[in-house]
Amino acid sequence: MTSRMKCLALDYERYHKTFRLFLELSSEHQAMSKFIHESLPDIFARIGEGKTTFDVISVGSGTGEVDLEILSQLIKVLPDVKVGCDMVEPSEPMLEKCKELVSRTPNLGNVNFTWNQMTASEFEKHWRERQSEKKLDFIHMIQMLYYVTDTAATISFFRSLLNENGKLLIILVAGESSWGKLWGTYQKELCCTEITQCVTAADIKRYLTAEGISFETFVLPSTMDITECFIPGDEKGELLLDFLTEVLDFSHSAPPELKAGVMSFLRSPDCSSQQPVISCGSIQSQTFCKLHFV
């Protein structure tokens, strides 16, 4: 990474803005929702059998939409358990949105939230200082392991908090996805050295296999409309480029050769599929090309 380029994740306001836009233009949360409804209930039933309390940690909760879907499935499967939920999120704007969402959501009477505005490593320090003996039933890290300095140490610490039947859920981009390929090609130029950032599910699988830790894999396919990235000066396009590259103000801070290389890579079949779209608003229908990040 050149010295002019800064890591997007360290600017909480801009990160929040780019993340909101990403959610608007991608099917990411819809893909997660499908997994939460189709696969998690059975997992919860297995973990929660015979329990009266159920403890959860959400690491990198973001604005909480996914957390609340997870909790609603948990409550459906285990209606009589008392749920304790530690929310770990360093970004104030995102945590505030999350609290707002929780306060507006009905049927959470059985859930006791603890708010931790801190990073995963600060939470670990805090937990060790408290010398807590508490064991957890379910811990999830959804699209957050990119932002820790030591992925293996983070996984190892949170695994050590699990009950015998407890489960850790990690969601990351797939190694063979467009994001994985983009990082594979431009890792040196794009990724911040102080955080792992370019990690993918393939890296985690290699780590778990090497450690002899058993795991189950689920594939959650999603796409993102990146058409606006190719409109010079477009505000949304520039925000999206920040989110894709994880670089703050990529359009203006990246050296021209890097920018040209990334744009051409994004347009290539490794990242884009072109889908015709009919515009119905005009008298004569027009066909546009939409670029999909896959």
Ligand X SMILES: C[S@@+](CC[C@H](N)C(=O)[O-])C[C@H]1O[C@@H](n2cnc3c(N)ncnc32)[C@H](O)[C@@H]1O
Region at 97 (left for phi over 0; alpha for psi -120 to 50; beta for the rest): alpha
Distance (Å, whole) CA 239 – CA 251: 9
CA 245 from centroid of its chain's CA atoms = 15
Token duo for residue 19 = 């993340």
C-beta closer to ligand X: residue 46 or 128? 128
What is the nearest approach in angstroms of ligand X to the Cβ of residue 65?
6
Q: Does 147 bind ligand X (CB under 6 A)?
A: yes
Q: Does 144 bind ligand X (CB under 6 A)?
A: yes
What is the nearest approach in angstroms of ligand X to the Cβ of residue 122?
8
> In this chain, which stretch among 83-91, 109-117, 234-242, 279-287 interacts with ligand X, using CB under 6 A?
83-91
Identify which of 71, 5, 7 has the alpha carbon closest to the alpha carbon of residue 259: 5
Q: Does 9 bind ligand X (CB under 6 A)?
A: yes
Q: Does 120 bind ligand X (CB under 6 A)?
A: yes
Q: Does 8 bind ligand X (CB under 6 A)?
A: no
Give the residue, chosen from 26, 48, 62, 138, that forms a contact with ligand X under the rule CB under 6 A.
62
* Helix-strand-coil split of the chain, %, nearest 5: 50, 20, 30
Q: Does 66 bind ligand X (CB under 6 A)?
A: yes
Q: Does 60 bind ligand X (CB under 6 A)?
A: yes
Q: Does 142 bind ligand X (CB under 6 A)?
A: yes
Q: Does 124 bind ligand X (CB under 6 A)?
A: no
Distance (Å, whole) CA 220 – CA 199: 17
C-beta closer to ligand X: residue 156 or 274? 156
Q: Return the amino acid letter for 91.
A: S
Q: Cβ(137)–Cβ(56) under 8 Å?
A: yes
Burial of 225 (0-12, 13-18, 19+ CB in 10 A): middle
Number of residues counted as binding ligand X (CB under 6 A): 19
Residue numbers of the site for ligand X (CB under 6 A)?
Answer: 9, 19, 59-62, 66, 88-91, 94, 119-120, 142-144, 147-148
